[in-house]
Structure 1
Amino acid sequence: MRLLVVCLGNICRSPVAEGVLRARIAASTLAGQIELDSAGTGDWHVGQPPDRRATANAAEHGVDISGLRARQLAADDYRRFDWLLCADRANLRDVQARAPRGSRAQTALLLDWVGIEDDGEVPDPYTGGPAQFEHVFQLLDRTADGAISRLRREYRL
C-alpha cells in the first residue's frame, strides 16, 4: 500500500502528516508494509526542509521531520501511489485536475479517508503561530490512528 499526503507547499501539513504516520506505522504491525511520502501542489519550496515551526512542534511530540525535503507533486505519483490524500479541498481539486491519462491513484481528503471528518480539512498553519501548529499536529496525530485502523481493516494488513 502506497500513500502520498498532499498539501500546498509541502512544508507544514503534509510533512507533519508524513512524520506522524511514519512513526505510528513503524511502531505497529504495519511496519514495512506501507510506503509513505508527501508532496505539495506548488513549487515554491522544492528542496527546502519543513517550516521551522512545524519541525519544532513535531519534535516537541517526539516526531523528527527535519530530514524531509519539500517536493512538488509529479505525474509519476499518480501511477506510483494507491492514494493521494489531500489536506484540503483546494488541494484535492488541484490534484484531481492534474491527473494524467492512465492514473491509477485514487484521491480523497485526508480527514475523510481516515474517518475523522466527512469533507473535513486540515487548516494551513503557515500564517499562524504556535497554537495553530499545535492544533494541526493534534489533528494529524488523530489522523494517524484513523489511518492505521483503516489500513488494518480494509487491506487486512
Structure 2
Amino acid sequence: MIKILMVCLGNICRSPLAEGILKSKLPSNKFIVDSAGTANYHVGSQPDRRSIAVGKKYGIDISNLKGRQFNIKDFDAFDYIYVMDESNYQNVISIARNETDKNKVKFILNEVYPNRNYDVPDPYYGGEQGFENVYKMLDEACTIIADSLV
C-alpha cells in the first residue's frame, strides 16, 4: 500500500481538495491518500464550503473530510508528502528528523514545473475563481502523480 499525504496551512482549502482529486485518480486498494495542515486552526473542521463546491462541480466529494494537523509521525506513516507552498515546506522540513524524512517532502507543483518550487496560492481570502484556479492546478499535478504511480 502506497501512502500519500497532501499538506497546506489549515487543511480546509488546498490539501483536502488535493486529497480528493488524487483519490479519484488512484485505485483505493493500492493507495491511501490523506491530508493535513501545518497549523491547528481547523482541526476537526470540514473543508471550506468553496473547496467542497468546486470539488462537487467536478464529481469529487470531500465534504466528509476533517481537518487535522501534520505531526512528526506522518513521516513514518507516508511514503510521499506533497506541500502546497514554501511556508508549508519550511514548516514540515523544520520538524524532519533526518534526510529520509526530508526526502519525502515535495512541492506538489514541481510535478508540473520541475524544480521551480511554485506555490499553489491559498484561495481562502479570495473569491470563487481562486478555488477554481486551485482545482485546475491540483488536478494537473495529481494527474501526473497518478500516472507516475499506476
Instruction: Please confirm whether the aligned pair reaches a TM-score higher than 0.5, indicating the same fold.
Output: yes
Query: Displacement of 1:93 after TM fit?
Result: 0.7
Distance in 2 (CA, whole Å) between partners of 1:128 and 1:115 is: 24
Match for residue 59 of structure 1?
Answer: 56
Match for residue 146 of structure 1?
Answer: 144
Please tell me the root mean square deviation across aligned C-alpha atoms, in Å. 1.6
Query: Displacement of 1:67 after TM fit?
Result: 0.4
Question: In the comparison of the two structures, how many residue pairs are matched?
Answer: 147
The letter of the residue matching 1:150 is S
Distance in 2 (CA, whole Å) between partners of 1:98 and 1:40 is: 14
Identity %: 38
The letter of the residue matching 1:137 is Y
The letter of the residue matching 2:19 is E
Query: Displacement of 1:115 after TM fit?
Result: 3.4
> What are the Cα deviations for residues 74-131 of structure 1, in whole angstroms up to 9, with x where unaligned?
121011111111000110011000123696461111111x234531211100000010
Distance in 1 (CA, whole Å) between partners of 2:44 and 2:100 is: 25
The letter of the residue matching 1:17 is A
Q: Does the 8 Å contact 1:116/1:143 carry over to 2?
A: no
Match for residue 12 of structure 1?
Answer: 13
Match for residue 41 of structure 2?
Answer: 44
Query: Displacement of 1:144 after TM fit?
Result: 1.5
Match for residue 97 of structure 2?
Answer: 100
> What are the Cα deviations for residues 44-80 of structure 1, in whole angstroms up to 9, with x where unaligned?
0000000011101111111100000000001210111
Q: Structure 1 regions of 5+ residues with no counterpart? A: 153-157
Q: Structure 1 stretches (4+) deviating beyond 6 angstroms?
A: none
What secondary structure sits across from 1:135 in the alignment? helix
Query: Displacement of 1:148 after TM fit?
Result: 1.2
